[in-house]
């Protein structure tokens, strides 16, 4: 039976299948996790492959095949997230949403009344982040709850950034 005197913290962790979000999940487990936490793993589906399809996709049935492939891939990833939660003995749920991650993360955080948001970051440079927009940057500046942005410690990633700044 749970101790009622311990406050349940509601933690949202944004997950997209990247090593950056996986790092954020692992960072949570190592640094923040408490037995009383209620964790919500959020995966925002944007149907990215549809944006790169050729112009006349309806006639050949490619659209339906592409949608089904995206759905299967998403369902598989959601099962993986559920398994990761069970393996880590987390109390909570996995939630799939549709739409841009930057707004969906904030919407789910508000709907679920979370106390904290945790996300990874790709560590884009200033120019790229300004032009493309950063999900983590947007969430940080528009959230009404604390946001932890976990920067991946990938040595290859750091080397790429250093080489890019020398060019």
pLDDT at 155: 54
**CA dist., res. 32 & res. 21, Å (int):** 15
Report the CATH number that the domain containing residue 60 is assigned in CATH: 3.40.50.620
Say how many C-beta atoms besides its own lie within 10 A of residue 11's C-beta: 25
Q: What is the DSSP string of 19-43?
A: HHHHHHHHHHHHHT--TT-EEEEEE
Question: Where in the sequence is the domain holding 75, given as residue range(s)?
Answer: 12-166
The confidence score (pLDDT) of residue 163 equals 45
Domain count for the chain, please give it: 1
Task: Give φ, ψ of 143 to 5 degrees.
Answer: -80, 150
Tell me if 4 is assigned to some domain: no
CA 102-156-87 angle, 5° bins: 60
How many other CB atoms are there within 10 angstroms of residue 38's CB atom? 16
In a domain? residue 81: yes
68 is a domain residue: yes
How confident is the prediction along the chain (167 residues), in pLDDT tens digits per residue? 455 677 899 999 999 988 999 999 999 999 999 999 999 999 998 765 455 555 555 556 777 787 788 889 899 999 999 999 999 999 999 999 988 999 999 999 999 999 999 999 875 555 544 444 588 889 999 999 999 999 877 655 444 444 444 44
The position carrying tokens 């009344």 is 113
1 lies in some domain: no
- 5 within a domain of the structure (yes/no): no
Q: Answer whether residue 115 is part of any domain.
A: yes
């Amino acid at each position: 039976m749970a101790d009622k005197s311990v406050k349940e913290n509601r933690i949202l962790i944004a997950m997209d299948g990247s090593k950056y979000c996986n790092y954020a999940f692992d960072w949570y487990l190592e640094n923040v996790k408490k037995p009383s936490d209620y964790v919500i793993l959020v995966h925002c589906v944007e149907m990215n492959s549809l944006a790169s399809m050729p112009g006349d996709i309806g006639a050949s049935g490619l659209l339906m095949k592409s949608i089904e492939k995206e759905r299967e891939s998403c369902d598989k990833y959601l099962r993986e997230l559920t398994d990761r939660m069970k393996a880590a003995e987390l109390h909570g749920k996995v939630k799939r949403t549709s739409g841009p991650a930057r707004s969906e993360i904030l919407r789910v955080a508000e709907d679920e009344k979370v106390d904290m948001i945790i996300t990874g970051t790709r560590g884009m440079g200033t120019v790229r982040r300004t032009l493309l927009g950063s999900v983590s940057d947007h969430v940080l500046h528009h959230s009404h709850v604390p946001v932890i942005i976990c920067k991946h410690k990938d040595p290859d990633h750091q080397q790429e950034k250093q080489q890019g700044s020398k060019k």
